Amino acid sequence: MSRRIAPVLAERSDDPRRAINLTVNGEAVTRDVSTRLLLSDFLRHDLRLTGTHVGCEHGVCGCCTVLIDGHSARSCLTLAVQADGSAIRTIESVAADDGTLHPVQRAFKECHALQCGFCTPGFVMSIVSHFEEAGTLDLSEDGVREMLSGNLCRCTGYQNIVAAVRRAAELMGRGGKG
């Protein structure tokens, strides 16, 4: 291709913006964001926390699941400005600082509960939130499958994810019915 004169390229758009303050994985964050920016894109592109994945952007697949103030949420169905003042936790915060896997992550590895890994952070966040919130875990086959039912996986057929939930409960000393 022949060398051309470098084009003048825009650096940014003229979207309206707003400052937000929040906590992400325990760190205070202040950023100026477009008011229409999705929380998923904010985490991935502005904060470079690319472990939160985007699979459908209409709230069905669960790849983008994060915890907002302790509760699981679709980051694709949340505007970044809505998260102002919140505490967000993403997949990057789940393992210990020294790299030791969280029991849910360890169980996934032991049970071969992931293949392509794209849906995996969303599953892990959903399960972690469930473990943290639920008093008694329903570890019956149907109970675990219902726990997993907000997340799509196209590779595993879910069976090993079910096994991983039970294994994680065992590792965490979380008995349950079933």
Partner 1 sequence: MATRGFGAPVQRTNDSRLLTGGGHYVDDIPLAGALHVAFVRSPFARARIKRIDVSAARAHSGVAAVYTADDLGALDVEMPLLIPHPCLIGPRTQRPLARGDVHHVGQTVAMVVAVDRYVAEDAARLIEVDYEPLPVELDLEKAIKSDAPLVHGDVKNNIAAHFVQTSGDPDGAFARATHFTKIRVRVERSTAAPMECRAVAARYDTVSGELTVWDGTQAPISVRGGLASLFGLDEDKVRVIAPDVGGGFGQKVLLFYPDEILVPFAAMRLGRPVKFIEDRSENFIGSTQERTQIHEIELAATKDGDVLALRDSFLHDTGAYIPYGIAIAQVASTSIAGPYRVPNIWVEFKAVYTPTVPVTPYRGCGRPHACFAIERAMDQLADELGLDRFEVRRRNLIAPAQFPYTRQGLLFADGLAVTYDSGEYAKALELIAKEIDVAAFRQEQATALKAGRYLGLGLAFYVEGTGLGPYEGGHVKVHPITGKVYVNTGLSGQGQGHETVFAQIVADQLGVDPNDVIVVEGDTGVFDWGVATFASRAAVVSGNAIHKAALKARAIVLEAASNMLEAAIDDLELVDGKVRVKGTDRGATLAEVATATNPLRYAFNKAAQSATQFAPAARHDGPQLGEGRAPGIEATDYYAPPHATWAYGVHAAIVEVDPGLCSIKFHRYLCVHDCGNMINPAIVEGQVMGGVAQGVGGAFYERVEYDVDGNPRNANFMDFLVPYATEVPRVEMHHMETPSPLNPLGVKGVGEAGCIAVGQVLASALDDALKPFGVAPFREVPLSPNAIFEAIEAAKGRRP
Partner 2 sequence: MKPPLFDYVRAETVDEAVAARAAHEYSAVLAGGQSLLPTLNFRLARPDALIDIGRIKALQGTAIDGDEIVIRAMARQREVEYDEAIFAANPLIRETLGNVAHAVIRNRGTVVGSIAHADASAELPALLLATGGAVIARGPKGERRIEANAFFKFHMTTSLAADEIAVAVCIPRLPPGTGYAFLEFARRHGDYALAGVCALLTMGAGGRVASARLAACGIGSRAVRLVAAEAALNGQKPDAASFAAAAKAARDAVTASDDRQASIAFRKHLLEHIVGRALGMAHGRAGKPFAS
90-109: which residues touch partner 1 (CB under 8 A)?
A: 90-92, 94-95, 99, 101, 105, 108-109
| Range list of β-strands (E), the chain | 17-24, 27-34, 65-68, 71-74, 87-89, 137-138, 176-177
CB of 163 to partner 1, least distance (A): 10
Q: Enter the DSSP assignment of 47.
A: S
d(CA 24, CA 47): 9
Q: Which helix (H) or strand (E) holds 167?
A: helix 159-171
Within 8 A by CB and 6+ apart from 7, the residues are: none
Closer Cβ to partner 1, 22 or 148, answer by number: 148
Among 110, 138, 150, 176, binds partner 2 (CB under 8 A): 150
Q: Which two tokens stand for residue 147?
A: 């726990």
For residues 29-88, which are near partner 2 according to CB under 8 A? 35-36, 38, 41, 57-59, 62, 65, 68, 71-74, 76-79, 81-82
Site for partner 1 in 49-88 (CB under 8 A): 49-58, 60-61, 63
Backbone angles phi, psi at 29, to 5 degrees: -130, 130
Using CB under 8 A, list all residues that contact partner 2.
Answer: 15-16, 18, 35-36, 38, 41, 57-59, 62, 65, 68, 71-74, 76-79, 81-82, 126, 129-130, 146, 149-150
